[in-house]
Amino acid sequence: MSETSNKSRRAFLRGAAAAGAGTVAAAATARAQAAPDPLITEVQPWASGLGEGVDATPYGLPIRFESDVIRRNVPWLTADPISSINFTPIHALDGTITPQGCAFERHHSGAIELAKQDFRLMINGLVDQPLVFSYEDLERFPRINRVFFCECAANTGMEWAGAQLNGAQFTHGMIHNMEYSGVPLRTLLEEAGVKTEGKWVYVEGADASSNGRSIPLEKALDDVLVAFKANGEALRMEHGYPVRLVVPGWEGNMWVKWLRRIEVVEGPVESREETSKYTDTLADGVSRKWTWVMDAKSIVTSPSPQAPITHGPGPLVITGLAWSGRGAVSKVDVSKDGGKTWETARLANPGEPMALTRFYLDTTWDGSEMLLQSRAMDETGYVQPTKAMLREVRGENSVYHNNCIQTWWVKETGEAENVEVS
Ligand code: MTE
Ligand code: CO
């Protein structure tokens, strides 16, 4: 270890001790001095035989002890599982990257099996030269890698009228964050040559719903990706294999899966879209449309209803996720008293625009109940609103774009519940 890293390690340990890690050390010392622990003194079954050979699972799965870290749906939310949604187990994950296998799915007409050799992407409409790309063609363009969150506009949508679902997975799990490899859409549009009248693109998927969406050309030429890998491997079927659109910072429904056609058009093609679905109801009943950007939001993932505190008073790591469709998260505050006082959390990966940011508050729990909240700020200066503030503008009958501050009531037992504070 180099001299500098030694120094910073010592500094870290001092900081950790100040934050209450001393109690953890005391518990660990007590454990060392207690009666002989068979886990230490006796040969265990896993050490008295041989383990599994290398080819037991050619494509690995999580160990069976982690079998509850899975996507879950809420059966009463939708009429059937085909046009439905499930939720990422964010309460059980750490870091920022969502493994594809537990990343939420949202389909309007089910996930389809589309082979690479059957994949065609057409670019037509107001272009100099209509083009059709095969999967192999796409692989021959220069590609880039970027991490972005994808949040369904309906995330937290069940919570408008009151605290509803008991767990971060269900209240905030319509989100995932992956590293995408793909070709900038700009490259393909330039290849086709956009005519000056072209101001929007209308994008379609190959599934029965097609999930057609109109996107302003400005965004299409800015940072939209035609992606074919996620977290290093092929997209999973449920996330749009073999190719999906990645629309950084914008609501999930624009991220067209099983990409099929991009038509350059003069204006939005609303007749072919379900635009009325993705509007925001305001307090006076008026609907607001074209609210594509996902505003700053955050959630404490642990402790939370599905991730209770399982130890006594002393050191406690409070952690969660924050994000903003308008840029990087600049600050996250955590409150233990329902928003009366705030402490600034530590950001694990600051400065990543339009990607999940992990925060930690390394704190000491005195064993009393808490009303836990987190509040995100982004680089534009925007501050995540309280539920009351959002309701003033949006009423209680909205569905989409609920980015309010969430409250978990953590009891003396360590269990937590979804509540509202006035
Ligand atoms: N694309 C197609 N072709 N069909 C769909 O049903 N659902 C959209 C979007 N793209 C959809 C689609 C919605 S509403 C969301 S939130 C995201 O995909 C979800 O992406 P995921 O299933 O990879 O999480
Ligand atoms: Co959606």
pLDDT, tens digit, for every residue of 19-78?
456 789 888 888 888 889 999 999 999 999 999 999 999 999 999 999 999 999 998 888
Distance of CA 129 to the CA centre of its chain: 37
Judged on CB neighbours under 10 Å (0-12, 13-18, 19+), 133 is buried
15 pLDDT more than 60: no
> Is the Cβ atom of 256 under 6 angstroms away from ligand 1?
yes
User: Ligand 1 atom closest to Cα of 205?
Assistant: 3
Contact 380, 325 (CB under 8 A): no
Among all chains, which residue has been given the structure tokens 């402490």? Answer: 343
pLDDT of residue 20: 56
5 pLDDT more than 60: no
d(CA 298, CA 338): 15
Average pLDDT, the chain: 92
Question: Which domains occur in the chain, in start order?
Answer: 3-47 (no CATH), 102-149+179-288 (3.90.420.10)
Cα-based distances in Å from 143 to 261, 267, 286: 20, 29, 43
d(CA 351, CA 169): 25
> Is the Cβ atom of 107 under 6 angstroms away from ligand 1?
yes
Q: Which residues pair with 364 in a beta bridge?
A: 315
Buried b (16+ CB within 10 A) or exposed e, 264-276: bbeebbeeebebe
d(CA 43, CA 410): 39
> Is the Cβ atom of 204 under 6 angstroms away from ligand 1?
no
pLDDT of residue 106: 97
User: Ligand 1 atom closest to Cα of 108?
Assistant: 6
pLDDT, tens digit, for every residue of 147-178?
999 999 999 999 999 999 999 999 999 999 99
225 pLDDT more than 80: yes
Q: Look at residues 140, 118, 133, 111 and name the one whose alpha carbon lies nearest to residue 238.
A: 111
The answer to pTM > 0.95 is no
User: Ligand 1 atom closest to Cα of 85?
Assistant: 22
